[in-house]
């Protein structure tokens, strides 16, 4: 299984780089939903939901989130996706709720200007914030990040950034809710690796929320009907979903998921993937650094007895920061070893290599159900409506939304994935990790 995983990912990267000059030759296939034999609900392309966001101010998205059932990995309790992050409407600007006929002078006597004082004090917490932004220091927000599989590249990269700004989000009155596809074991692994607070995470084992939101899932190809069932059985065994472990396995859904995921890795129905892979290799003069110089990323040697601890094995690949590289028997230093203050060549690719090694070494835990590898994610930021705003009865309105367009496209601004949060948490949003920056 591990050997297959290594081969599949490395072949994907090789294929992606080799076809980058012909990326425009790919024509996105039909995105109409097709029947999948009743075993799995068809997932439509995200364009429909993004259009709904523009026309309905996100009320459709909010309704779906309110009605979606997710699981708290810490307790095993099921709840609404918005449970614990939905901000309750405050009927009056005081701690005391009073009838409308109470004179304003009486309410002022009981501390009617307390909110103004609180606002003045909170405004001092973030000197870097944009004074002209549409957010004031008293506003409350709910940020919902819908992630793909917890073992996905996108999930790991995004979570690292979010973990770095968790305290900043709290200071800005932004409640964070992350929802990913996985189970309790994958949630524990994921949070430990990313340094994320598990209280912010909920799991959706079968991606039902993703399907309700009609999030992107690649070209939406089905497995050709002429492929023999025996081939599907062989492929499922090959990727580790054996009959011994999974009696009711859906070989068609597993193969279909891999087919669409690999298509996205090659840039098919995933327009932003190849440029992002390429950016990871060539570097980005406008992006901050992504790895510390003393951090070591290793790829273990294949073969041998994994249970033999008598002698510590030398890693096949060992990369220290952006300087020293060990590749098999070869040792060398990168040409840009003395450069700093921006994302150097191969630096982001090294970060992704670190994620790949972690996930593939624990693939069964990170990806307990391979039927949903192709499902992508989205990000939504809701703002609490004041009593005098939007007299439509809704307590939250959508102020930001991004729907993933494929693999490695979890942000509109991948060089600085959290830049949309700058009006709320200041300059930290532009460089969450606090490493060298060209700005």
pLDDT score for 243: 84
Whether the pLDDT of residue 379 is over 70: the answer is yes
Rounded alpha-carbon distances, angstroms, from residue 106 to 93, 98, 131:
13, 10, 33
Mean pLDDT lowest for which of 114-118, 228-232, 414-418?
114-118
Separation CA 140–CA 331 (nearest Å): 52
Mean pLDDT of the region 289-315: 77
If we measure between CA atoms, which residue out of 4, 12, 2, 48 comes closest to residue 234?
A: 4
Mean pLDDT lowest for which of 154-168, 231-245, 343-357?
231-245
Residues 130-150, buried b or exposed e (16+ Cβ, 10 A)? eeeeebebbbbbbbbbbbbbb
CA Rg value for the chain: 24
128-173 pLDDT, tens digit per residue, is: 444 444 445 567 999 999 999 999 999 999 999 999 999 999 999 9
Separation CA 229–CA 222 (nearest Å): 14
Of the two residues 204 and 41, the one the predictor is more confident about is 204
252 bridge partner residues: none
Q: What are phi and psi of 397, to 5 degrees?
A: -130, 145
pLDDT score for 280: 96
pTM above the 0.85 mark? no
57-114 pLDDT, tens digit per residue, is: 567 899 999 999 999 999 999 999 999 887 554 443 443 444 444 444 434 434 444 4
Q: What are phi and psi of 377, to 5 degrees?
A: -125, -165
Structural domains in the chain, sorted by start: 2-23+44-87+137-289+345-430 (3.40.30.10), 295-301+313-339 (no CATH)
Separation CA 381–CA 353 (nearest Å): 30
Strand 174-181 with 201-203, pairing: parallel
């Amino acid at each position: 299984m591990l050997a297959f995983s290594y081969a599949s990912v490395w072949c994907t990267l090789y294929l992606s780089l080799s076809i980058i000059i012909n990326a425009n030759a790919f024509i996105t296939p039909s995105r109409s939903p097709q029947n999948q034999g009743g075993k799995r609900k068809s997932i439509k392309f995200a364009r429909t939901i993004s259009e709904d966001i523009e026309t309905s101010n996100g009320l459709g998205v909010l309704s779906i989130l309110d009605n979606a059932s997710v699981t708290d990995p810490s307790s095993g309790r099921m709840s609404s996706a918005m449970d614990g992050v939905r901000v309750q409407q405050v009927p009056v600007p005081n701690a005391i709720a009073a009838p409308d006929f109470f004179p304003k002078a009486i309410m002022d006597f009981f501390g009617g200007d307390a909110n103004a004082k609180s606002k003045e004090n909170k405004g001092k917490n973030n000197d870097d914030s944009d004074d002209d932004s549409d957010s004031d220091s008293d506003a409350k927000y709910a940020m919902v990040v819908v992630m793909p599989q917890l073992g996905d590249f996108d999930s790991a990269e995004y979570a690292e950034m979010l973990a770095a700004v968790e305290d900043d989000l709290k200071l800005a009155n932004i409640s964070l809710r992350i929802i990913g596809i996985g189970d309790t074991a994958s949630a524990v692994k994921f949070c430990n690796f990313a340094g994320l607070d598990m209280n912010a995470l909920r799991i959706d084992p079968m991606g039902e929320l993703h399907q309700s939101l009609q999030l992107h899932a690649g070209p939406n190809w089905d497995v050709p009907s002429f492929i023999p069932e025996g081939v599907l059985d062989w492929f499922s065994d090959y990727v580790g979903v054996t009959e011994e472990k999974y009696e009711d396995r859906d070989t068609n859904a597993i193969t279909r998921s891999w087919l669409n995921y690999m298509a996205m890795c090659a840039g098919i129905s995933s327009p932003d993937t190849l440029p992002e892979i390429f950016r990871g290799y060539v570097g980005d003069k406008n992006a901050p650094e992504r790895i510390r110089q003393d951090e070591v990323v290793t790829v273990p040697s294949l073969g041998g007895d994994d249970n033999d601890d008598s002698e510590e094995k030398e890693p096949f690949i060992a990369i220290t920061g952006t300087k020293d590289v060990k590749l098999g028997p070869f040792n060398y230093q990168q040409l840009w070893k003395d450069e700093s203050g921006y994302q150097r060549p191969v630096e982001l690719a090294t970060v992704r290599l670190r994620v790949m090694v972690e996930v593939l070494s624990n693939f069964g835990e990170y990806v307990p159900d391979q039927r949903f590898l192709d499902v992508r994610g989205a990000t939504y930021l809701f703002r609490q409506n004041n009593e005098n705003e939007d007299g439509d009865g809704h307590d939250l309105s959508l102020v930001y939304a991004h729907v993933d367009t494929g693999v490695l496209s979890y942000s509109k601004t991948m060089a600085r994935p959290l830049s949309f949060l700058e009006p709320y948490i200041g300059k930290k949003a532009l460089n969450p990790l606090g490493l060298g920056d060209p700005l």
